């Protein structure tokens, strides 16, 4: 008698439909859990990935929060092992590197949306406060970007001097300052504002402009320029 044909799991057909949708229109129209479900097919084999995708969304709320989470936090979800957790970290670092490379390819920060997207890629997943500095030329092209260490902004007494020295070394004409509020709101503290004033004043002595200071947090961002700080002269 001929062998019975093996019945293929139903999720294989679903995976194929997801991939066809992606091939046709990218992630347009996908729910977050569907994006995660599709991504997990490349790291979890022989299992339906939808339950894991929905469990990740239930815990973290969105794809961006999953990418920002630590691997050990991701592994708290039943069925998600070290390989899958590392996969999400690899994906996040790839996105971060891509956006940073694009910024250095002569890309202009034409609007605050571009700037915030870049800063979120660099600071969004940090567990501690990090000050990030962008040095730009007269065409608003990015010359150099750096993190001035991890810790807290309140420990940043030496930052104005260091920023001025680096700006001069890079022949920058303007600077953008940014830092993150991990796990908190984007509302600036008195220390944040004092640092902004100190950096602005220090740069002014060498005829370099502080363009902006952006605070990045899980709930969004705060722009000192949009909120009138630089209107003070």
The residues spanned by each domain of the chain are 10-96, 108-232
pLDDT tens column, 177-193: 999 988 778 899 898 89
Tell me if 10-96 shares its fold with 108-232: no
Residue 124, pLDDT > 70, answer yes
pLDDT tens column, 6-46: 555 666 667 788 888 888 888 888 889 999 998 998 898 88
SS3 state of residue 109? coil
- C-alpha pair distances (Å), 80 with each of 41, 89, 93: 12, 13, 19
Nearest one of 119, 104, 137 to 209, comparing CA atoms: 137
**CA–CA dist 163, 231 (Å, integer):** 22
Half-sphere exposure of 35 (CA within 13 A, CB side): 16
Architecture field, domain 10-96:
Orthogonal Bundle (1.10)
Q: What is the pLDDT of residue 13?
A: 65
**CA–CA dist 79, 49 (Å, integer):** 10
Query: Which fold would CATH assign to domain 108-232?
Result: Cytidine Deaminase; domain 2 (3.40.140)
């Amino acid at each position: 008698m001929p062998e019975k044909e093996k019945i293929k799991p139903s999720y294989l057909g679903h995976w194929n439909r997801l991939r066809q949708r992606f091939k046709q229109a990218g992630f347009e129209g996908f729910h977050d859990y569907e994006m995660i479900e599709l991504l997990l097919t490349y790291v979890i084999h022989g299992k339906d990935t939808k339950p894991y995708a929905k469990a990740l969304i239930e815990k973290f709320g969105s794809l961006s929060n999953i990418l920002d989470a630590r691997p050990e936090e991701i592994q708290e979800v039943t069925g998600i092992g070290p390989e899958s957790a590392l996969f999400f970290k690899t994906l996040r670092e790839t996105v971060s590197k891509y956006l940073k490379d694009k910024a250095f390819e002569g890309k202009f920060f034409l609007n605050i949306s571009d700037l915030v997207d870049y800063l979120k890629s660099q600071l969004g997943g940090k567990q501690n406060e990090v000050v990030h500095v962008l040095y730009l030329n007269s065409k608003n092209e990015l010359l150099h970007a750096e993190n001035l260490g991890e810790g807290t902004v309140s420990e940043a007494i030496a930052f104005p001097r260091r920023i001025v020295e680096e700006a001069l070394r890079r022949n920058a004409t303007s600077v953008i300052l940014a830092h993150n509020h991990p796990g908190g709101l984007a509302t600036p503290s008195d220390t944040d504002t004092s640092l902004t004033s100190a950096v602005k004043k220090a740069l002014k002595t060498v005829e370099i402009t502080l363009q902006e200071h952006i605070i990045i947090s899980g709930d969004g961002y705060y722009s000192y320029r949009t909120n009138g700080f630089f209107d003070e002269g």
